[in-house]
Amino acid sequence: MRNIYEDLFEKNQEAILIIDPFANRIIQANPTALKLFYITQDTLESLSVTQLFRPSLSKLVVFTEEVLEKKQAWSNELQALPLNKQPIDLEMSAILIEAGSESSPVIACTIRNKKTLEDLRQISDANKLHRDGLEHWQTIENVFREFERENQLILRAVGEGIYGVDVDGNTTFINPAGERMLGWKAEELIGKNMHAMIHHSHSDGTEYIGDDCHIYAAIRDGEVRHVENELFWRKDGNSIPIEYTSTPIMDNGRLVGAVVIFRDISERKLAEEKLHSALNEVQTLKKRLELENAYLQEEYRSEHNYKQIVGKSAAIHKIIQQIELVAPTDANVLITGESGTGKELIARAIHESSGRKNRPLIRVNCASIPRELFESEFFGHIKGAFTGAVTDRAGRFELADGGSLFLDEVGEIPMELQSKLLRVLQEQQFERVGESKTRSVDVRIIAATNRDLKQEVQAKNFREDLYFRLNVFPIESIPLRERIEDIPLLADHFLKLACRKFAKPPMNLTVGDIQKMKTYSWPGNIRELVNVIERAIILSNEKKLELNLPKQNVLQEISSESEQKKISVQTKQERLEEEKQNIINALTLCNGKVFGNNGAAELLNLKPTTLTSKIKKLGINRHNYIQIQ
């Protein structure tokens, strides 16, 4: 049987290549393929796949990816370029051959010369026409006439401009929509160089060189070009913004011209400009309002808080919507997120919004329970069940009966206890340690973790069935660095709480304080924010808040010793210019502000009146340095 297969490969009239797509090499080629590509067996070993198919590398990549994905593919868009020969247009089909786990898969390609196929089809059609006789030929001729007439109707009906050019860029046709847009009649353009007529200049009037024209490029390399935001020039001398697609025309493998489809985008450009202007105006007004109103000077209304969840960001709104959706149900909820993001607060909000709010929410920190005490903590024990069990004790499930059980850091539960926990979730039944009596409970589970439980399942550290039982309704608690718009609200909220906690008079955060907090990364999230606010209250004197954030990595440029030792003498004008630039730098950093906290006078350690005098003397306009974003 093996000889038969070898004969099929060697004697096949179709060209066959066996290629390794990952090594970019041709493994084997049958004699028909060697003849088609004008190569020998010796040359084959040094020829890569991309060398052979270099005129159509992008299409080859797409074709290969389709074979690897679907295990088969077909294309009639590929070209090969044999050594010292003209490009060959190909029709190619391929299948993926998987050799086993130890070897890479290979691709078997069956290749046909499109010109040869076309010649064969023409001979076949001619023979058929000859057999069918003149009457049939006349019928086919009528069909072609009708086809041409329908094409003309289509060209006249479409609303986009369409024109054709030959290899020299001379116009071959233009449809009525193109005539209307450009103001030229077809007879005025046909035979003329289209680039010179409508595409000769850029928007600033400079010459648009033909070699840079994408339409000419499509004729040169045979690649389709789609271009946006260019200009065509009308007969009346006015320009119109357009986008166009230039598609090359091939005849028997030879480029003979291109068809250009273009669209007037004047209305779209106008709409974009109006939208851009409106957005700029909105941003300007927004920034102006922010500058005119100090942060946290107004009392935020209670509707900013939902069940003690403070924030107005899109992330918080999404969490609140999720809570409102899932709270009325008894579905288990899995809350994920980094430490300190408020997962327990979300759990409490779910419980307080549910029908179980009149029953307790029992919290279990799974990370703080010793391994040997997990079962007793969850299910309770009876007297004498183990050393130290001097009385009966109810577990967390019993305490949460009718209410909710919050399993914080659920990923820390040992594997040996996970199966017992799964049984309780499925059957709502359990036994105390040391007792044979089965008890029933009605408990809703809300779990939280800062681990990726999917990865824990894959690592065999967490039961997959328990994961799916807990993850009925997932909620992600977003880290503080991804919702910085909530920082002013949170900071003000915690500042008020801290003032009451430490019996301090009411204090306010400055614009500078808020800016500092917004640029800090908050690795400890909300928990770290609370600590920073409380530390600031403790360190504050009288009514001035001392806000100190942990230092982050900042690279400082230090002048070399030789630089520091250089001695130079400045002229009076140079000193004035240096002083002027220093004041400008200060105004830039302070957003044009001169007086008060975080003003340029404070930064330069000058009296505000002195700085104002210098600004006037040096001819500086401080309003130029107010940044409106």
- Strand positions, DSSP E, 472-608: 473-476
Higher pLDDT, 327 or 602: 327
Q: Do domains 2-119 and 144-264 have the same CATH topology?
A: yes
pLDDT at 21 over 60: yes
pLDDT (mean) for 355-370: 90
pLDDT at 1 over 80: no
pLDDT (mean) for 27-31: 90
Helices 511-519 and 487-501: crossing angle in degrees, nearest 10, is: 110
Reported as a pLDDT band with limits 50, 70 and 90, residue 283 is confident
Reported as a pLDDT band with limits 50, 70 and 90, residue 45 is confident
Q: Which residues pair with 310 in a beta bridge?
A: 305
Residue 300: DSSP 8-state: P
CATH class of 314-476: alpha beta
Reported as a pLDDT band with limits 50, 70 and 90, residue 293 is very low
The domain limits of the chain are 2-119, 144-264, 314-476, 572-625
Q: Using a CB cutoff of 8 Å and minimum separation of 24, what contacts does 186-190 make?
A: 188/235, 189/163
Helix (H) or strand (E) holding 260: strand 254-264
Instruction: Give the side-chain half-sphere CA count within 13 A for 42.
Output: 0
Residue with tokens 């183990």: 386
Q: Tell me the pLDDT tens digit for each residue of 51-65.
A: 889 989 899 999 999
CA 319 to chain centroid, in Å, comes to: 22
Identify the top-confidence range among 89-93, 121-125, 201-205, 275-279.
Answer: 89-93
Q: Other CB atoms closer than 10 Å to residue 546's CB: what's the count?
A: 11
- Angstrom distance (rounded) from CA 264 to CA 492: 53
Q: Tell me the pLDDT tens digit for each residue of 211-259.
A: 778 888 888 888 888 888 888 888 888 888 888 888 888 877 788 888 8
pLDDT (mean) for 559-567: 42
Reported as a pLDDT band with limits 50, 70 and 90, residue 606 is confident
| Fold held by 2-119 | Beta-Lactamase (3.30.450)
User: Closest by alpha carbon to 415, among 464, 454, 455, 452?
Assistant: 464
- Angstrom distance (rounded) from CA 94 to CA 51: 19
Q: Determine which of 179-183, 279-283, 363-367, 571-575 has the lowest per-residue pLDDT on average.
A: 571-575
- Angstrom distance (rounded) from CA 603 to CA 589: 9
Reported as a pLDDT band with limits 50, 70 and 90, residue 303 is very low
Choose which CATH entry (3.20.20.70, 2.40.160.40, 3.40.50.1970, 3.30.450.20) describes domain 144-264: 3.30.450.20
pTM: 0.43
Instruction: Give the side-chain half-sphere CA count within 13 A for 360.
Output: 10
Token pair in block for residue 557? 């440029």
State percent of the chain over pLDDT 90: 27
Q: Tell me the pLDDT tens digit for each residue of 84-129.
A: 678 899 999 999 988 766 678 899 999 999 888 888 888 887 777 6
Q: Tell me the pLDDT tens digit for each residue of 545-561.
A: 878 888 764 333 333 34
Higher pLDDT, 221 or 141: 221
Residue 170: DSSP 8-state: B
User: Closest by alpha carbon to 203, among 242, 260, 162?
Assistant: 242
